[in-house]
Chain A
Amino acid sequence: SQQGEEDPQALSIQEGENATMNCSYKTSINNLQWYRQNSGRGLVHLILIRSNEREKHSGRLRVTLDTSKKSSSLLITASRAADTASYFCATDANGGGADGLTFGKGTHLIIQP
């Protein structure tokens, strides 16, 4: 079964509202990362949180990590139409080496103007 599972699969909110997406994973991790993908394009790295961190901020983004529950959340505050995209969590498994990232299926976020 896959490592990351985002919830919800799709989210539609009004511009200006906050958007919260959740991610659960199964194994020990070095870090958890959130990426954004506009339709049919490459992924853009948003934020990385290490396994020994609990919360991190970057501009309008806030990420939390609960390693006891193996879960993370991404909060986008004061959403804008340009935030419409798919958001993926990805985990870097504990163990070192170049083993790539394991991605979830993503949350498709739509911001209504």
Chain B
Amino acid sequence: ETGVTQTPRHLVMGMTNKKSLKCEQHLGHNAMYWYKQSAKKPLELMFVYSLEERVENNSVPSRFSPECPNSSHLFLHLHTLQPEDSALYLCASSQEPGQDTDTQYFGPGTRLTVL
């Protein structure tokens, strides 16, 4: 798990706050991902970056804004969130997106609570 780190591990914010989640991968991978894990729902893919370019958006509300300044770092900027956005946000990375043996390595997640 230490190959992909996420900060903060826990975050409580009000609906009017602006905050950012950070993810860093130390594996030299080419792709990074944001997933949302809500209670009793499957993991939902939010964003994909491959070689620092966004390749997937998945109809995520605009109150979530990703940023990938380089291949090792990924941010998720949050603003005017809703209580239903409370969830575990997981970051992942992979070496060869699209290859049939590509696997993803996950960070520990950020537990977000929106009041």
Binding site for B on A (CB under 8 A): 2, 4, 30-31, 33, 35, 40-45, 48, 50-51, 88, 90, 92, 96-106
Could you tell me how many residues of chain B have their Cβ less than 8 Å away from some Cβ of chain A?
A: 33
A78 CB to closest chain B CB (Å) equals 25
Inter-chain contacts of A100 with B (CB < 8 A)? 33, 35, 45, 48, 56
A42 touches B56 (CB 8 A): no
Q: A47 — nearest CB in chain B belongs to which residue? A: B103
Map CB proximity to A onto B1-19 as digits: 1 under 8 Å, 0 otherwise. Answer: 1001010000000000000
Inter-chain contacts of A41 with B (CB < 8 A)? 1, 108-109
A98 touches B100 (CB 8 A): no
A-facing residues in B76-115 (Cβ within 8 Å): 88, 90, 92, 94, 97-98, 100-109, 111
Q: B40 — nearest CB in chain A belongs to which residue? A: A105
